[in-house]
């Protein structure tokens, strides 16, 4: 089918787009940064601890504070800030493409 081949071409064009390539490079940096990986692991542990406190109907204030503190560290990490900014650019590009591809197509009417 011609349409499927066109979809593959669009997929390849997106992967070659400079904004997507930047995103993947930042993602690679994130994955290679040991300190960030430890921080992200701590964040996941804090989430589990918080969820367990809720499930067990225990006082969740300490777990909530720990989770908030670690989340702040994650959110203010330079690589994470860069990644989130670049992610928004790529997401906007993908939304624009999706909108253009589906423009005028409405199967729900």
The arithmetic mean of pLDDT across residues 32-45, rounded, is: 98
Residue 18 CB-half CA count within 13 A:
0
Tokens 């009417």, located at residue = 109
Asked if residue 103 is part of any domain, the answer here is: no
Asked if residue 26 is part of any domain, the answer here is: no
Residue 9 has pLDDT above 90, yes or no: yes
Domain span at residue 52 reads: 34-93
Tokens 């720990």, located at residue = 66
Asked if residue 72 is part of any domain, the answer here is: yes
Segments in the chain forming alpha helices (H) = 2-16, 18-32, 34-55, 61-75, 78-101
As given in the structure block, the two tokens for residue 32 are 């290679």
Asked if residue 105 is part of any domain, the answer here is: no
Question: pLDDT-based confidence at 1, cuts 50/70/90?
Answer: confident
Asked if residue 51 is part of any domain, the answer here is: yes
The arithmetic mean of pLDDT across residues 59-85, rounded, is: 96
Asked if residue 71 is part of any domain, the answer here is: yes
Asked if residue 73 is part of any domain, the answer here is: yes
The arithmetic mean of pLDDT across residues 50-77, rounded, is: 95
Asked if residue 109 is part of any domain, the answer here is: no
The arithmetic mean of pLDDT across residues 10-21, rounded, is: 97
pTM score, two decimals?
A: 0.83
- Check if the beta carbon of residue 60 is closer than 8 Å to that of residue 52: no
Question: pLDDT-based confidence at 109, cuts 50/70/90?
Answer: low
Q: What is the largest CA-CA distance in the chain?
A: 59
């Amino acid at each position: 089918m011609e349409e499927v081949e066109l979809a593959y071409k669009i997929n390849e064009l997106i992967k070659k787009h400079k904004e997507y390539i930047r995103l993947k490079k930042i993602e690679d940096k994130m994955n290679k940064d040991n300190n960030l990986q430890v921080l992200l692991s701590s964040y996941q542990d804090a989430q589990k601890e918080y969820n367990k406190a809720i499930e067990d109907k225990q006082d969740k204030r300490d777990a909530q504070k720990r989770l908030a503190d670690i989340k702040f560290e994650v959110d203010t990490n330079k690589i994470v800030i860069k990644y989130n900014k670049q992610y928004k650019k790529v997401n906007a590009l993908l939304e624009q493409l999706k909108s253009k591809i589906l423009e005028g197509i409405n199967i729900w009417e």
